[in-house]
Amino acid sequence: MKLTRRNFIAAVIGGIAGIQATPLPWKFTDDVAIWTQNWPWVPVPPTGEFSEVTSVCNLCPGGCGIVVKKVDDRAVKIEGRTDYPINPGGICPVGMGGLQLLYDESLRFTGPMKRVGLRGEGLFTEISWGEAFDMLAGRISTQRRKGAPEAVAAIDGSPEGTTVSELVKRLMRAVGSPNYVRPPSICDTYRMGNLLMQGTLSPMAYDLENSDFVLSFGCGLLEGWGAPGRVMNAWGMWHQGNPAKRKTRIVQVESRASNTASKADIWVAPRPGTDGALALGIAHVIIKSGKYDARFVSDHSWGFEDWRSMDGTRHTGFKTVVLEKYSPEKVAEITGVEPKTIVSLARAFAGAKAPVAIYGKGKDSLNGSLYEYMAVQSLNALVGSINRPGGVLLPDPLPLSNFPPMKVDSVAVGGLRKPRLDQAGTMRYPFSDSLINNFTDAINRAPRSPVDTLMVFSANPFFTLPDGGGFKKALEKIPFIVSFSPYRDETANMADLILPDSTYLEKMDDTVWPVGLQYPLYGLSQPVVEPLYNTKNVGDTVIELSRAIDDSVGSSFPWESFEEALKERAKGLFEAGEGLVSYDAGTPAWQRGGDRDKPGYSSFDEMWEAMKEGGMWYRPVGSPRDWQGLFNTPSKKFEFTSKLLVQAIADYSKGQSEKKALKDMGLSAPADEACMAHYEAPETTADRSEYPFLMLPYEMINLASGWIPSPPFLYKTIFENQLLKDKSFATVNPATAAKANLRQGDLVCIESQAGKVEARINLFEGAMPGIVYLPLGFGHTAYDEFLKGKGVNPNNVVQAGQDPISGYPVWWNTPVKLVKV
Amino acid sequence: MKDSVNSSKKTADKDGDTAPPGGLFPRWMKIDILAQDVGFFVLGLIGALVVGWIIFPAVLYSKHVQPINFNHALHLDSEKVDGVEGETKAEKCLFCHSFRDDGTFTGIPRLEKCTECHDDPESPLGETPEEKAFMAEYVADEKEIPWFVYSKQPDCVYFSHIAHVKMGEIDCETCHGNFADNEKLPIYEENRLTGYSRDIWGKRISGIYWNKEYSDRMKMDDCARCHTEKGQEQNNACFVCHK
Amino acid sequence: MKKENDHGKHKYGMVIDIDKCTGCGTCMVACAAENNVSVRADQSDKERTITWMRLYKISNGKPFPHTEISYIPRPCMHCDHHPPCVSVCVATATKLDFNTGIVSQIYTRCIGCRYCQAACPYGARYFNWWDAYFPKKKGLDRYLTPEVSPRMRGVVEKCTFCHHRFMRAKTVAYAEDRREIEEDEYITACTEACPAQAITFGDLNNPDHEVARLIKHPFTFRLLERIGTEPKVYYHSSRDWVRKLADNFLPGEYTPVVNQTWAEEEWSTKPGRDEF
């Protein structure tokens, strides 16, 4: 038999017929279909045992309680804790996206590294921890041997009062450098204002939940001020039920229709930088109509009426000045707010049962103005809302133990005697702790950098400082920079050495009294997962570093680990007694009275274990405090006119004319007025005919603008008129845009004397005419594909002035021009 | 070339069109030629059947031996293993293949479960070489055993064991077949195309089951058929079994 | 008109209080994190980026300083009456489950024709132009949850009312020998995450559930209510301009909510801000 063509065809036909009777075609089709449903490159998340770990979010000083869902060893979701006093259930979007900051390897340093590329390039090579400690300790030792320990400087962004910040301060003291600098924060303004008017040092405590009228001067209540979990929870509570019968009214004072302004009951829009004048206008109406709390003013305050000094000179008091200078008509001229609005606001504020005036500028991560804060606090005093439920409370500071006294060797004593580079605490800036813009200037002005080694902790000043790029220039001059950041941020990319911290989900850490909370709270976060990489808790790093420097420095750090140091401070919490370490959602911590469980621990160790488990120590809000000894000012009263300021101005005027001294301190008001809340018009060197607009940076809750990178998730929440491809948008009023002949989406160059950036135009009726609003948080030049090169950083345009007396940067007054590209 | 094609066509036409001089039928209908055709047809047919029924399944599935042999029968003997008790087989199975407190199913036990008894690598509990190998390779190094999972479903499938075993009172073997009496783990077969275990499609490559016993397959239709039979049609909604 | 879902046991739905909503976007992030939603480098192209829950920003359009903005969070509406996406699906990849009222979407069944996307009046459906992006070399696949299957390119996805949480709640109930689940045992990720408690989730069929009470409120409305798809996501706002934007009203068509009684309380015509 021969295989002919014909036979072959017969066989093929037989084959085709036969194959139908086999499973092959049917099974094959089925399998191919399944094959297309399971591409090997689509991840299949492994399953396992589900568990939960509770901790405290450390991404901002708010310290919300979080619960992390895990599958075996992997963390898969972050949620808010319902058994935590600050945020009963909710957290902010940044905290919600936190896992990307843990798991995105290209955002992080995977171990200690030294720079191999150019500064800013971000090229590093991994070294061992031993090598890293040797390098840094050697550098510091050399400075100490040279007798110049002050050339070692530290910038520390960990919130004031946390154990890490205490350790870094201690390290700087032990090394012998006075140059411990902090990035600005609204807490600086609160601290200084409270010191001057109340003589208190405890954190700001606004009893928002119990208030029935919240008059917010610029506080970004819905933009992330304070602990976002707490404020937004309160917001939901305020809007619960019948809107006609709502207890709490909210008024937002801000120049832009932000979320807070739009969602508030009333939005009042004064020109930027004139909030203080508006507050004084309201004070004027209240004083004039006699609606102020005469009892508080007469019994517990000083400087309201005119007064005589020791030498018999007559000085004007708050009342006289306010009545003379801040009539609604005059204030209307300054602020642009109509007089009748000022009058009705004043009536509503004074008429409320528990009004509170709160002060802020967006989130809490940038400073405010001292006099503005004093004006707002004066309003609280006028209506007696100080030390009263629903107002401003004056609790004691957290009873944390101090570290044991330390020995400071002769080298360190010599170094500590040197003046601070930023002049904070000098006669010119008598009440300031730290002035980072001055620090930057000092380096930029000097021919050779006075700082040899700069250590940067939990901060990214390259990106976050409103200084028109001044800090970046300073970094270029500093010979040796060390970053302790877990993230590959802009500042870390300029560093020569990286000693990476673990991320907040991999380590133990503490949070101390979230901004604005009305009761003392100490939060303790727990590692949620084991450190993924070769990183170290920065607290441990500081302790080990101290030992690597020399015995003299190391002896100030007697703890075996960071946890020991945490425990040492927490002992004070135990000794103070009465603190609760668990939370029952049924009795919120801001509610007075009510049955509460007793602390339920009898020894420190028991308390510590309970704190580690629950993550908290707090004392629910109590009854108002005894007036006796409440105010620690020279007059022992609330001071409308600050005696400390009187003294400080007198001190500074010694040997020169008072007028010149005041001018030097940035003041245009006469001496009496300078000692109380008053309005100072922000100054600028720019020619306003050339730079006709003002640029105002603004913050959003759904974008991190501080030292923490934004989780990429957040970019889903950004609108296409805030960011499109690589361009962010400048928001302007349509009328303003029409004047400059600009339309929606036009690309413009926003130029100030300090710098320029390119952005697209977004027209928005809710923007104040004449002002260009730029969002903070965009424009990273570091990190990875998710964040890098998206939009522009308004800080590069900010031409910062100086706030009178305090010396903090005035970042809200930058004249700019718009040039269409 | 063109010419030759044409000429051969012509020849073919001629063959077909005109009857040969010697017979009633055209030449192509001659019995021997037809027989040849049938022969080749059958040859092709048989070839295809062989390919489809024997070669195809053999090629489609790769065979894997489990990393170690686990003796189910031995471990289900309550006299030998402490704690394996219960009136039904399912209760015994649940000793190792257990539910967690949140109702989720542990599936194939982790090493942790094994080391509850086999805790000391130095002293095996039995005498089999398998156990020794297990102790040396896995227990000593605290390494998880990379089991091949016969009943592994794709990622898009959600299956609640507790709904079926506890609430539906269905025996394990209804779906998994009788593993309890196995002394030796069967060879694991993996579909090279889909990556699925053969147990999903079933041992019967045809996929045809006349007598409604489908205990050895785990396709979606089987789930649906059982739901319907048990009067649980509402559980045929897509999201009940898909995620 | 007879409703298809009358016989169903549960009818899960949601009420979103626009007065409480602060526009923070936590719901969007919570949703993406909960449901393994792909995050690509460029999220600014809103026609390509996937957001099951999406915030829309609306404005009253008044000039400065009377401008007001508000936000409308938009999940899948889980339409109860002939969901437009279900009617057009050629592959039966999307169905309305009468037992839960949830509109399901099966990715492995979807053929990517995008009819449903075109049919959805709410823009709640998203097409995967690319495979799920969780680059392994960055380690971003490590936070994925096994409860929701990641999607391949070429299929449509949408909000599922966190159906896996329903299954999780049932599993827990079974472990505790219960067949029914409590109101707070099954809530969506966005409901749970909202820091202002603006979202309420529950069974609309169950009169004991908060949602069933809230939807009777005169300030409650739905988006594009008049097209008759009976969405199960309700909104609540005391502001007339917000309610007015919920549908394409012709001039004079919209009637403001005036003097309605609800739960024996008199409602003022000018609630909230207008009282001053």
Q: What is the pLDDT of residues A420-462, one digit of tens each?
A: 999 999 999 999 999 999 999 999 999 999 999 999 999 999 9
Fold topology of A693-820: Barwin-like endoglucanases (2.40.40)
> How much is the mean pLDDT over chain A?
94
Q: How confident is the model at residue A487 (pLDDT cuts 50, 70, 90)?
A: very high
- C69 and A719: CB-CB below 8 Å? no
| CATH 3.90.550.10 is right for the domain spanning A113-188+400-576+579-618 | no
Q: Which residue in A has a C-alpha nearest to residue C42's C-alpha?
A: A725
Tokens 């901002």 sit on residue:
A60
Residues ≥6 apart with Cβ < 8 Å to A641? A302, A303, A307, A315, A317, A318, A672, A675, A676
Predicted confidence at residue B30, as pLDDT, reads 79
- Whole-complex ipTM: 0.94
Tell me: pLDDT of A26 over 90: yes
CA distance B9 to chain C (A): 47
- B163 and C99: CB-CB below 8 Å? no
Residues ≥6 apart with Cβ < 8 Å to A610? A581, A582, A600, A601
Query: What are chain A's partners, defined as 3 or more CB pairs within 8 angstroms?
Result: B, C
Tokens standing for A90? 């909710």
- A765 and C28: CB-CB below 8 Å? no
Q: Among A13, A31, A36, A52, which would you mutate to test the B interface (most chain B Cβ atoms within 10 Å of its Cβ)? A: A31
Cβ atoms within 10 Å, residue A145: 11
Q: Among C148, C174, C186, which would you mutate to test the B interface (most chain B Cβ atoms within 10 Å of its Cβ)? A: C174
Tokens standing for A228? 């976002």
CA–CA separation, A590 and A502 (whole Å): 33
CA–CA separation, A12 and A107 (whole Å): 61
Identify any residues that bridge with A79 across adjacent strands, giving them in sequence order.
A67
Chain B partners within 8 Å of C147 (Cβ): 243
Tell me: pLDDT of A735 over 80: yes
- C26 and A715: CB-CB below 8 Å? no
- A10 and B51: CB-CB below 8 Å? no
- A-contacting residues of B 87-116, CB under 8 Å? 100, 102, 104, 106
Strand ranges, E, within chain B: 61-64, 188-191
Q: What are the domain boundaries of chain A?
A: 5-37, 113-188+400-576+579-618, 206-306+314-393+629-641, 693-820
In a domain, residue C87? The reply is no
Count how many residues are written for chain A: 821
Tokens 């809103």 sit on residue:
C46
- A34 and B42: CB-CB below 8 Å? no
- A-contacting residues of B 57-86, CB under 8 Å? 57, 60
Could you write out the DSSP letters of every residue in B223-242? HHHHHHHTT-GGGGSHHHHB
Tell me: pLDDT of A550 over 80: yes
Predicted confidence at residue C258, as pLDDT, reads 56
DSSP 3-state helix, strand, coil percentages of chain B (rounded to 5)?
A: 45, 5, 50
Tokens 């939060």 sit on residue:
A523
CA–CA separation, A319 and C41 (whole Å): 58
Whether C259 contacts chain A with CB within 8 A? no
| pLDDT > 90 in chain A, percent | 91
Residues ≥6 apart with Cβ < 8 Å to A131? A112, A114
CATH code where residue C23 lies: 3.30.70.20
Nearest to A384 by CA among A314, A505, A291, A475: A291
Predicted confidence at residue A4, as pLDDT, reads 85
- Three-state DSSP class for residue A29: helix
Tell me: pLDDT of C4 over 50: no
| pLDDT > 70 in chain A, percent | 100
Tell me: pLDDT of A469 over 50: yes
CATH class of the region A206-306+314-393+629-641: alpha beta
Predicted confidence at residue A685, as pLDDT, reads 86
Predicted confidence at residue B214, as pLDDT, reads 60
- C95 and B238: CB-CB below 8 Å? yes
Tokens 């300030």 sit on residue:
C219
pTM for the whole structure: 0.93
Tell me: pLDDT of C271 over 50: no
For B37-89, the pLDDT digits (tens) are 899 999 999 999 999 999 999 999 999 999 999 999 989 888 888 878 888 88
Q: Which domain holds residue C19?
A: 4-77+97-102+131-145+162-275
CA–CA separation, A388 and A166 (whole Å): 32
Count how many residues are written for chain C: 276
- B101 and C175: CB-CB below 8 Å? yes
Q: How far is CA B71 from CA A322, B130, B186, in A?
A: 91, 10, 11
Tell me: pLDDT of B10 over 80: no
Q: How far is CA A734 from CA A279, A763, A770, C162, C259, in A?
A: 29, 5, 10, 41, 37
Tell me: pLDDT of C6 over 80: no
Tell me: pLDDT of A382 over 80: yes
> How much is the mean pLDDT over chain B?
85
| Angular region, B32: left φ>0, alpha ψ -120 to 50, beta rest | alpha
Nearest to C189 by CA among C159, C220, C150: C159
Tokens standing for A238? 């305020």
Q: Which residue in A has a C-alpha nearest to residue C21's C-alpha?
A: A236
Among B42, B155, B206, beta carbon nearest to A14: B42
Tokens standing for A237? 């509570």
Whether B158 contacts chain A with CB within 8 A? no
For B109-150, the pLDDT digits (tens) are 999 999 988 888 787 787 888 888 898 889 989 999 999 999
Asked if domains A206-306+314-393+629-641 and A693-820 share a fold, the reply is no
Tokens standing for A665? 């301190």
Chain B partners within 8 Å of A23 (Cβ): 52-53, 56-57, 205-207
Tell me: pLDDT of B16 over 60: no
Q: How confident is the model at residue C238 (pLDDT cuts 50, 70, 90)?
A: confident
Could you write out the DSSP letters of every residue in C180-215? S--TTTS--HHHHH-TT--EEEEETT-TTSHHHHHT
- Three-state DSSP class for residue C260: coil
| Angular region, C9: left φ>0, alpha ψ -120 to 50, beta rest | alpha
| pLDDT > 90 in chain C, percent | 80
Q: Taking residues A550-577, report their average pLDDT.
A: 95
Are C112 and C121 spatial neighbours (Cβ–Cβ below 8 Å)?
no
Q: Which residue in C has a C-alpha nearest to residue A64's C-alpha?
A: C195
Whether A36 contacts chain B with CB within 8 A? no
Are A755 and C63 spatial neighbours (Cβ–Cβ below 8 Å)?
no
Predicted confidence at residue C254, as pLDDT, reads 86
Q: What are the domain boundaries of chain B?
A: 2-63, 65-108+147-241
Checking C239-243 for CB contacts under 8 A at 24+ apart, the result is: C239/C18, C239/C19, C239/C68, C239/C70, C239/C272, C241/C60, C241/C68, C242/C18, C242/C58, C242/C70, C242/C72, C243/C219
- C174 and B101: CB-CB below 8 Å? no
- B154 and A37: CB-CB below 8 Å? yes
Query: What are chain C's partners, defined as 3 or more CB pairs within 8 angstroms?
Result: A, B
Across the beta sheet with A180-181, the strand order is A124-126, A113-115, A497-498, A480-483, A453-457, A152-156, A180-181
Predicted confidence at residue C177, as pLDDT, reads 95
Q: What is the DSSP code (8-state) at residue B206?
A: T
